[in-house]
């Protein structure tokens, strides 16, 4: 009892109260409640890769775990060999040259860097341009920094790219940072070189730092190779890209990511990290380096697997009359909600009446309303079954 009284007297800092609520925690709780009732729930609502890490990478970790060097503290900002490995991958995949010593920071997953960059650049009240709908971790970093968000609507009619001409120039002049994310979560949209050229010109004009979130860079469909922001002339002068091994090599649990590009920003990220952590376990760094420099066939196979799933899903969607655009990248499908429902009402209906979990679009921002997001993280049979169950509700005029 006394302990409870004591706990009540411990007041969190205002910073904690300013953190955005975790919309998707509610979704997980609702799904778990159905599972607890013994329902066979098909969960298409989350973004956790379902396949294991390729065995050659796991084997390297096992071997490296025996190396006594790695039992000591790693260098603060991580081993140079890992920075060289990611620089090599960028050279081979995108023709981008990076100085491993000054233009690469090692992160505990992309998520960490996406939160840190706001803390590095934003003073309280500074504006950050954020895509809507978008990945909610951008909001977390801005909130922790005490910054303000100005949302850039991503609309279907613009291919889910932000329309820079629609941003109030006074807001743009006050903005210090902008997030962009292609292949996009949640819409599955992709960006070409022209978009990044426009973004760089806009960033130069308004003195904005660009943060390109390239978490799904390895996943392209129909023969499409995704474009890195860093391929754009002038990109390194105005921004950084965030890359992660989570999706490319099914290594979400390993927590390995990178910030790459502008040396000043990379220096700031390394500095803030010197205060938060010592880098990743050395064995993980060695296995991560092998992932990047070893055989890349596993990456091709991964993209092909998601493409087969996408095609199976859309064949089934077609059959029930649910019309939507196929994604060009990422493992997400962005589907319109039938009339008469909000995205949350519709997701609840699918969970309660079809035992299928989808993510309501509104959880990604107000412009996500009217859509739900489905992940391609189950095999073709499960995806097809999910759509068949939804079809039985008779909501689409097939």
Residues that bind ligand PLP (CB under 6 A): 47, 109-111, 135, 181, 185, 213, 215, 244, 246, 252, 257
| Least distance from ligand PLP to the Cβ atom of residue 189, Å | 12
| Least distance from ligand PLP to the Cβ atom of residue 299, Å | 16
Measured CA to CA in angstroms, residue 146 lies from 123, 127, 210, 273 at distances of: 7, 10, 19, 19
Closest-CA residue to 213 (of 19, 359, 47): 47
Closest-CA residue to 211 (of 250, 169, 258): 258
Nearer to ligand PLP, 110 or 162 (CB): 110
| Least distance from ligand PLP to the Cβ atom of residue 378, Å | 16
For residue 299, give every residue at least 6 positions away whose Cβ sits within 8 Å of its Cβ, in sequence order, or none: 218, 248, 249
Nearer to ligand PLP, 46 or 102 (CB): 46
| Least distance from ligand PLP to the Cβ atom of residue 340, Å | 30
Nearer to ligand PLP, 215 or 291 (CB): 215
Nearer to ligand PLP, 70 or 182 (CB): 182
Closest-CA residue to 124 (of 139, 142, 98, 103): 142
Report yes or no: 186 and 136 within 8 Å, Cβ to Cβ. Answer: no
Nearer to ligand PLP, 135 or 229 (CB): 135
The CA distance from 220 to 310, in Å, is 11
Nearer to ligand PLP, 322 or 371 (CB): 371
Burial of 10 (0-12, 13-18, 19+ CB in 10 A): exposed
| Least distance from ligand PLP to the Cβ atom of residue 181, Å | 5
Burial of 342 (0-12, 13-18, 19+ CB in 10 A): middle
| Least distance from ligand PLP to the Cβ atom of residue 206, Å | 24
């Amino acid at each position: 009892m006394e302990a409870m009284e004591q706990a009540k007297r411990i007041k969190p800092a205002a910073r904690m109260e300013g953190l955005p609520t975790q919309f998707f925690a509610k979704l997980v709780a609702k799904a778990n409640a159905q599972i607890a009732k013994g329902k066979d729930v098909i969960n298409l609502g989350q973004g956790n890769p379902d396949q294991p890490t390729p065995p050659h990478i796991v084997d390297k970790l096992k071997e490296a775990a025996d190396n006594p060097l790695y039992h000591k503290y790693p260098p603060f900002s991580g081993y140079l060999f890992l920075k060289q490995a990611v620089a090599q991958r960028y050279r081979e995949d995108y023709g981008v040259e990076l100085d491993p010593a000054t233009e690469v920071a090692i992160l505990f997953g992309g998520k960490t860097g996406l939160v840190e960059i706001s803390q590095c650049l934003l003073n309280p009240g500074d504006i950050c341009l954020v895509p809507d709908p978008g990945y909610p971790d951008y909001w977390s970093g801005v909130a922790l920094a005490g910054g303000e968000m100005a949302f850039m609507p991503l609309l279907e009619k613009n291919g889910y790219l932000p329309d820079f001409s629609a941003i109030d120039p006074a807001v743009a002049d006050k903005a210090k940072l902008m997030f962009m994310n292609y292949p996009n979560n949640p819409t599955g949209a992709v960006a070409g070189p022209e978009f990044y050229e426009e973004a760089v010109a806009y960033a130069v004009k308004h003195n904005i730092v660009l943060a390109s979130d390239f978490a799904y860079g390895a996943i392209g469909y129909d023969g499409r190779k995704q474009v890195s922001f860093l391929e754009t002339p002038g990109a390194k002068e105005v921004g950084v890209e965030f890359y992660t091994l989570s999706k490319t090599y099914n290594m979400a649990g390993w927590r390995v990511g990178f910030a790459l590009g502008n040396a000043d920003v990379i220096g700031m990220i390394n500095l803030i990290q010197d205060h938060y952590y010592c880098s990743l376990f050395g064995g993980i760094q060695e296995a991560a380096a092998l992932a990047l420099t070893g055989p890349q066939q596993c990456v091709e196979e991964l993209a092909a697997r998601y493409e087969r799933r996408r095609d199976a899903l859309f064949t089934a969607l077609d059959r029930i009359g649910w019309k939507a655009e196929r994604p060009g990248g990422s493992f997400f499908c962005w589907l319109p909600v039938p009339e008469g429902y909000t995205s949350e009402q519709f997701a609840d209906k699918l969970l309660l009446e079809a035992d299928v979990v989808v993510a309501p679009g509104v959880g990604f921002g107000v412009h996500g309303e009217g859509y739900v997001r489905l992940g391609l993280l189950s095999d073709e049979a499960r995806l097809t079954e999910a759509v068949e169950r939804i079809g039985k509700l008779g909501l689409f005029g097939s």
